[in-house]
Chain A
């Protein structure tokens, strides 16, 4: 069978032109054929003019990686005479000194060199990143980049990888127009990514597809050596993912082995992370001054610890909590990729180790070890492949005292008179005292060091596929994939004394052990038919996709431990346990038609039907379609474009998508069997419905229109794309807040309650050029976003968040707070102003917006959009001889931030203060905008108001990197070695008073509220890359 196949191929080869042959070589030809073609080429090179003929030899390498390029076509210009380079990139050709050699290789820029006196010509080919023949992976298939009709952004992977992160999403920050990323500095913490704005109130995270597998939570496994990343932004490109596609799709392809050579690449990077900024907080004296003033202003006596006349006055402790908490964190990443291929099987194996210790002095860290193996091969008409990945990750979590509170805020609020360590307290950490300090203040360092909160995840992904060419051009593909996650978490809070409010008694000491597993199995059955009829090209895809997701977990809880007792469940005084399981299934049919005429007119149409168990049977079906087209104007014969224009294409499309990212069993009313009571010390079982459910929930729908112009100038050295999109999402499932009087817990109901429109412009421009040895690339992207709520809530009632309100005609989560007018200087001003019931001189004067003479909740107003109006990235990369240098700026703006961290430091209470608070109002210090501190804040000076609104604009030098390719004499073993140094999050230009304007807030309705997220660390990295 194999021999027959070979013969057929040989026949085909003989009919091909040289150019086609080499184009095909790289993609399809196995090793043996390549040898044959070499022979053919060598024979044909005898047709040379005999004049001044000499033998030219040399080696062809790639500019970027420095590795030899086998199979490069070396041609004497103006003839059909040529050779190809061998495995080691070497060639030998007979040419005369007046010849010009042309080096061509698919995916690389052509180069021409005059022979002259040279007998050895070594040359490096630069990758042709602008190449429109580049093949990109789209859903369930591939397409030439130039044939795309939808909004697909191809990420510059090499640049993206310069952001050292455990999370692929973080690498995309600023790289693609229309993609926004919010991150937190917690090692292993969650990264929030959105494509083209908010399209859902539940989950806006895009779908990740890695090597054809749909993968949730991509953060906890290293996908391997990423070769390409595509972002499908509009409905026409994402419609093939139907109900999963509304948030956009990120397609990642990892490195596959190539036949013929063995590659071994080792990469290592070690870095150090610090908090780039500290906030200016009061020291002991400042703290005691402000807090005592607050007590006196409230008519209270000063607590003894802050009263210099008391024997209990504290003047020997002055903790700078930021200084005490922050250290240098270490991040390291080592990766080994091993790839190669034999006759029928290519392989690529990647081993990746990532380790990140916290910049906070706690056990917090993230460690991940992952391996992936990609296999692919072909035999006859059968192609096959598999991907196997295994990841083990360990995360030591940071702990919040109460869910939803911020440890960062608690750290900043910790009072300076509390020591970090105190051997007299159980556990050895300091705490505050009820009598002397009265402060409810948490020793975040002690709390986190005492608690053991670890999370271990074992993840296995497996994916097997086979493709059979049934008859010519009709291919059947089956792909089965499984993504299995097993996890275990341990949370142990031992008995301790962290001060008067934070005592953990033996009875309260608790151990929670959670273990669970999740399995997602997907089976794709695909049928693909492509046919060319003269100038017409058709490509048809039909498919049937089944998906099943099973989840199980078990929680054991043990309560009651003695100090020092072994933290195992069997040592607990009281043990309880519970379990949970769930299943989600779906069935989908997919179809797509790609049609092109004469490489001028392109058309793509998609249809998908989805059915899912997430919805009641009568609502469980969703139909989605899209149509898009493109016109390659530069291929028209009747239009003559100016010479400078190499590419001109316009494209546009329309499509519908769905979204099913809601919790399981969302439509069934259930009862809770644990609402028990007690009669005579005996448990009386109680059962009741706790949560109100909407039995009629259905899909969310998104409609998108998209229009774009692509322009390439000067042989595509300069490329420009401008794009407009409009996305309208209807029937959005939202947790609509309910009045407390409804009696449901939570006080909200999930129902199809809203419609939202997002529109914006996206621009991408890139320019490649070189001047002698200096090669450079500049690329920039800019995305604008306008979000508008078209319909919301039950009966159109607005939805309120933390200092925000979402209502029709505005964007989601706009800041909605009181407006500050100034500070009351005296009683007369209070009397003259609208009634503020408990105001005194020195308190904040709020504006009476509705002029009713009262300051009430009706005086709140919209004071800014929380969603950045624009975001952008600017990348510069260059090389000069052995050096390469790049930097990347990224930013966003046009939004406002409600600075909750700052608000919490301006309380003027029994917690530490921002130094701004030192300028508080007194009858003597009236020229200030800082109100008087007062215990209990009777006037609500600290309520969310315009005092705490700041501009969200920022621009960050996200990374800067300098690399050096070590010149190697002997390239036999080590092909290439590069060392580099880089800085991450080096500089943030922003007036923001909090830690970082690039903060993470998962709450959609309160996107602009910085409740105290971990600051993104600044890192300095040193790396080595070696190819063997």
Chain B
């Protein structure tokens, strides 16, 4: 009896144990089936290329060129103003960004460092991959370039910032503005040594891909970094190297720099690539990228004229007036005016397939107002910008800029007379008279003012104006500051120190020892 019981018990137990055991020893280690692990990545040349592509990917987020970076660069200039009801945007140009509200400028700061982190992943992992050395160098060169570019923005806009050159640590201490520029220069220099002049002549996985960083892009940014740190001889020499590459030229039609039609053209030294055709259609604002993300910019809806976009940015009247100062050789208004803004033009002006005067006829306020045209999809193909998705590439380094910066560095190194021809190259495209004839023999100081004027008209709404104002020291020059206030009322609330944005509170709170920028 007893044994029978035991026997039944044993049978019962073994049946239950075998049939009901839902978790086995091996099940206690679970591998995420949804993603590749870091350990299995970084093995092949394809991984290396995907890795560097991801560094570019950070250029497309809200914090970077999708929206925030152009806004932050433009709004402080005297070429722009904002009547946005969104305080974080409204306050940018009024030098009033709030320490307690890091929207927009904080997003920029955050995503620059995400880009830096991605670049560091490439720089740390790709050297260990066995692959074609030429391709490897190109990939590393791009990673250096992009790290330099993200840090350029961080140093330029936030002044004293951390400089992570490795992902092996969590905390990167705040560094001085000087150290920041040194790192930027070092990265661009290394990049210029590793990068090819073009990708049309290389063979490999990246052959023929337009939009990748080139030697020219690295040299141009290296020159720009020297210019921003007032190292004019080095600036001059590097801009000259770009010119001597002999691969760049100005496109005949100025407006071809701001539409989706003629992208990656001969004038384009480096541009951020947007497309309505590639990827999904979701707006990829930021965070962990998803498969449905589109590759489009929200700049056009943000800057768009009333009725076609949000009108958060508008050109200033003084910019409009500056375009009237000098007529073309055929006594026409500078054609760059119409490429830059929409206004109630005598004789009519079309926007999004509608006539300006007719569209705004009901309201005198709008009828007499100025709206942004650069980088707008306004040629009639789209009824408005309300789907948020603009595919226009942002040309952040144009050859025209290289020529103008070269002219400037010539002027600063005693070559004022030599500067004329490079300025004139840019003027010639829009039929402005020969500067050597209309304003011959300018002094260095006169030439500075001339360059300032030329740069304003050529690069209005392209994010360069305020950088120029700051680096030229106009904010410390009471006469210039008064003049700026007369041109753009938003300068009335400028205060020393506010030429930089505040370090976002989250960085202050979580990176011990960080000191807030002066003036906040």
Q: What residues make up the interface of A, taking CB atoms closer than 8 Å to B?
A: 299-300, 304, 312, 434-435, 438-440, 468, 470-471, 476, 478, 480, 500-501, 503, 505-508, 521, 523, 525, 546-548, 557, 559-560, 574, 576, 578, 580-587, 611-613, 617, 620, 664-665, 668-692, 737-747, 749, 794-795, 797-798, 800, 837-838, 856-857, 909-910, 935-938, 940, 943-944
Q: Is B280 an interface residue (CB 8 A)?
A: yes
**Contact: A683 with B117, CB < 8 Å?**
no
- Interface CB pairs A-B, < 8 A, 13: A434-B306, A438-B83, A478-B20, A548-B23, A671-B38, A677-B53, A681-B278, A688-B57, A690-B114, A738-B510, A740-B113, A797-B510, A856-B520
**Contact: A686 with B280, CB < 8 Å?**
no
Residues of A within 8 A of B250 (CB): none
Q: Is B254 an interface residue (CB 8 A)?
A: no
Mask, B154-179, CB within 8 Å of A = 1, is 00000001101001001110000000
Top 3 closest pairs, chain A to chain B, by CB? A743-B117, A686-B54, A688-B54
> Which chain B residue has the least Cβ–Cβ distance from A691?
B288
Give Cα distance in the complex from A683 to B365, angstroms. Answer: 43
> Which chain A residue has the least Cβ–Cβ distance from B6?
A470
**Contact: A670 with B38, CB < 8 Å?**
yes
> Which chain B residue has the least Cβ–Cβ distance from A572?
B281
Give Cα distance in the complex from A687 to B30, angstroms. Answer: 23
Stretch among B87-95, B185-193, B436-444 lining the A interface? B87-95
Stretch among B96-104, B130-138, B230-238, B332-340 lining the A interface? B96-104
Q: What residues make up the interface of B, taking CB atoms closer than 8 Å to A?
A: 5, 9, 12-13, 16-17, 20-23, 25, 27-39, 41, 47, 50-60, 83, 85-87, 90-91, 94, 96, 98-101, 106, 109-110, 113-118, 120-121, 161-162, 164, 167, 170-172, 209-212, 264, 273-275, 277-282, 286-293, 295, 306-307, 310-311, 363, 365-366, 386-389, 391, 489, 492-493, 495, 498, 504-512, 514, 516, 519-520
Give Cα distance in the complex from A892 to B509, angstroms. Answer: 32
State whether A613 and B29 are in contact (beta carbons under 8 Å apart), knowing that A690-B289, A739-B172 are contacts in the complex: yes
Report which residue of A613, A665, A690, A936 has the largest number of chain B beta carbons within 10 angstroms of its beta carbon. A936
Give Cα distance in the complex from A741 to B210, angstroms. Answer: 30
**Contact: B36 with A943, CB < 8 Å?**
no
Min distance, Cβ A258 to any Cβ of chain B, angstroms: 29
State whether A548 and B27 are in contact (beta carbons under 8 Å apart), knowing that A521-B22, A676-B279, A686-B57 are contacts in the complex: yes
> Which chain B residue has the least Cβ–Cβ distance from A546?
B23
Contacting residue for B98 out of A508, A611, A742, A943, CB 8 A: A943
**Contact: B35 with A670, CB < 8 Å?**
yes
**Contact: A800 with B32, CB < 8 Å?**
no
**Contact: B50 with A686, CB < 8 Å?**
yes
**Contact: A837 with B520, CB < 8 Å?**
yes
Residues of A within 8 A of B293 (CB): 674, 676
**Contact: A620 with B28, CB < 8 Å?**
yes
State whether A687 and B292 are in contact (beta carbons under 8 Å apart), knowing that A559-B282, A745-B287, A857-B508 are contacts in the complex: no
**Contact: B22 with A435, CB < 8 Å?**
no
Report which residue of B90, B281, B306, B516 has the largest number of chain A beta carbons within 10 angstroms of its beta carbon. B281
Give Cα distance in the complex from A800 to B101, angstroms. Answer: 14
State whether A737 and B510 are in contact (beta carbons under 8 Å apart), knowing that A617-B29, A675-B289, A936-B87 are contacts in the complex: yes
**Contact: A688 with B118, CB < 8 Å?**
yes
> Which chain A residue has the least Cβ–Cβ distance from B208?
A680
> Which chain B residue has the least Cβ–Cβ distance from A578?
B291
**Contact: B277 with A944, CB < 8 Å?**
no
> Which chain B residue has the least Cβ–Cβ distance from A681?
B275
Residues of A within 8 A of B310 (CB): 434, 500-501
**Contact: B100 with A943, CB < 8 Å?**
yes
Min distance, Cβ B152 to any Cβ of chain A, angstroms: 15
Residues of A within 8 A of B59 (CB): 677
Give Cα distance in the complex from A500 to B84, angstroms. Answer: 12
Give Cα distance in the complex from A687 to B29, angstroms. Answer: 25
Give Cα distance in the complex from A435 to B57, angstroms. Answer: 36
> Which chain B residue has the least Cβ–Cβ distance from A666?
B32
**Contact: A741 with B273, CB < 8 Å?**
no
Contacting residue for B365 out of A435, A856, A940, CB 8 A: A435
Give Cα distance in the complex from A834 to B165, angstroms. Answer: 39
Residues of A within 8 A of B36 (CB): 670-671, 673, 687
Min distance, Cβ B187 to any Cβ of chain A, angstroms: 15
Residues of A within 8 A of B90 (CB): 935-936
**Contact: B162 with A741, CB < 8 Å?**
yes
> Which chain A residue has the least Cβ–Cβ distance from B47?
A687
Give Cα distance in the complex from A684 to B54, angstroms. Answer: 9
Min distance, Cβ B513 to any Cβ of chain A, angstroms: 11
Contacting residue for A674 out of B278, B281, B290, CB 8 A: B290
**Contact: B363 with A678, CB < 8 Å?**
no
Min distance, Cβ A937 to any Cβ of chain B, angstroms: 6
Min distance, Cβ B306 to any Cβ of chain A, angstroms: 6
**Contact: A675 with B118, CB < 8 Å?**
yes
**Contact: B94 with A938, CB < 8 Å?**
yes
Give Cα distance in the complex from A671 to B39, angstroms. Answer: 9
> Which chain B residue has the least Cβ–Cβ distance from A674?
B289
**Contact: A675 with B91, CB < 8 Å?**
no
Residues of B within 8 A of A548 (CB): 22-23, 27
Residues of B within 8 A of A681 (CB): 275, 277-278, 391
> Which chain B residue has the least Cβ–Cβ distance from A500?
B310
Give Cα distance in the complex from A746 to B171, angstroms. Answer: 15
Give Cα distance in the complex from A580 to B516, angstroms. Answer: 42
Give Cα distance in the complex from A525 to B493, angstroms. Answer: 74
Residues of B within 8 A of A746 (CB): 287
Apart from the given pairs A686-B52, A692-B170, 14 other A-B contacts in the complex at a CB distance below 8 Å: A435-B363, A440-B85, A468-B12, A546-B20, A668-B31, A671-B36, A675-B57, A677-B295, A678-B274, A684-B56, A688-B55, A739-B507, A739-B511, A856-B516
**Contact: A687 with B54, CB < 8 Å?**
yes
Contacting residue for B96 out of A299, A560, A744, A938, CB 8 A: A938
Give Cα distance in the complex from A277 to B54, angstroms. Answer: 51
Min distance, Cβ A492 to any Cβ of chain B, angstroms: 15
**Contact: B117 with A669, CB < 8 Å?**
no
Give Cα distance in the complex from A738 to B169, angstroms. Answer: 11
Residues of B within 8 A of A299 (CB): 489, 492
**Contact: B41 with A687, CB < 8 Å?**
yes
**Contact: A909 with B87, CB < 8 Å?**
yes
**Contact: B30 with A613, CB < 8 Å?**
yes
Residues of A within 8 A of B211 (CB): 678-680
Give Cα distance in the complex from A574 to B294, angstroms. Answer: 12
> Which chain A residue has the least Cβ–Cβ distance from B100?
A943
Give Cα distance in the complex from A797 to B170, angstroms. Answer: 13
**Contact: A576 with B53, CB < 8 Å?**
no
Give Cα distance in the complex from A560 to B282, angstroms. Answer: 11
> Which chain B residue has the least Cβ–Cβ distance from A910?
B85
**Contact: A679 with B512, CB < 8 Å?**
no
> Which chain B residue has the least Cβ–Cβ distance from A818?
B100
Report which residue of B86, B289, B508 has the largest number of chain A beta carbons within 10 angstroms of its beta carbon. B289
**Contact: A587 with B279, CB < 8 Å?**
no
Give Cα distance in the complex from A632 to B24, angstroms. Answer: 45
Min distance, Cβ A442 to any Cβ of chain B, angstroms: 13
Contacting residue for B22 out of A439, A478, A523, CB 8 A: A523
Residues of B within 8 A of A480 (CB): 20
Min distance, Cβ A243 to any Cβ of chain B, angstroms: 13
Give Cα distance in the complex from A739 to B117, angstroms. Answer: 12
Residues of A within 8 A of B366 (CB): 435
Give Cα distance in the complex from A465 to B210, angstroms. Answer: 67
Residues of B within 8 A of A737 (CB): 506, 509-510
**Contact: B35 with A677, CB < 8 Å?**
no
State whether A743 and B167 are in contact (beta carbons under 8 Å apart), knowing that A478-B20, A738-B510 are contacts in the complex: yes
> Which chain B residue has the least Cβ–Cβ distance from A523?
B20
**Contact: B209 with A672, CB < 8 Å?**
no
Residues of B within 8 A of A617 (CB): 28-29
Give Cα distance in the complex from A744 to B110, angstroms. Answer: 9
**Contact: B27 with A559, CB < 8 Å?**
no
Give Cα distance in the complex from A690 to B52, angstroms. Answer: 14
Report which residue of A745, A937, A940 has the largest number of chain B beta carbons within 10 angstroms of its beta carbon. A745
**Contact: A739 with B162, CB < 8 Å?**
yes
Give Cα distance in the complex from A580 to B32, angstroms. Answer: 10
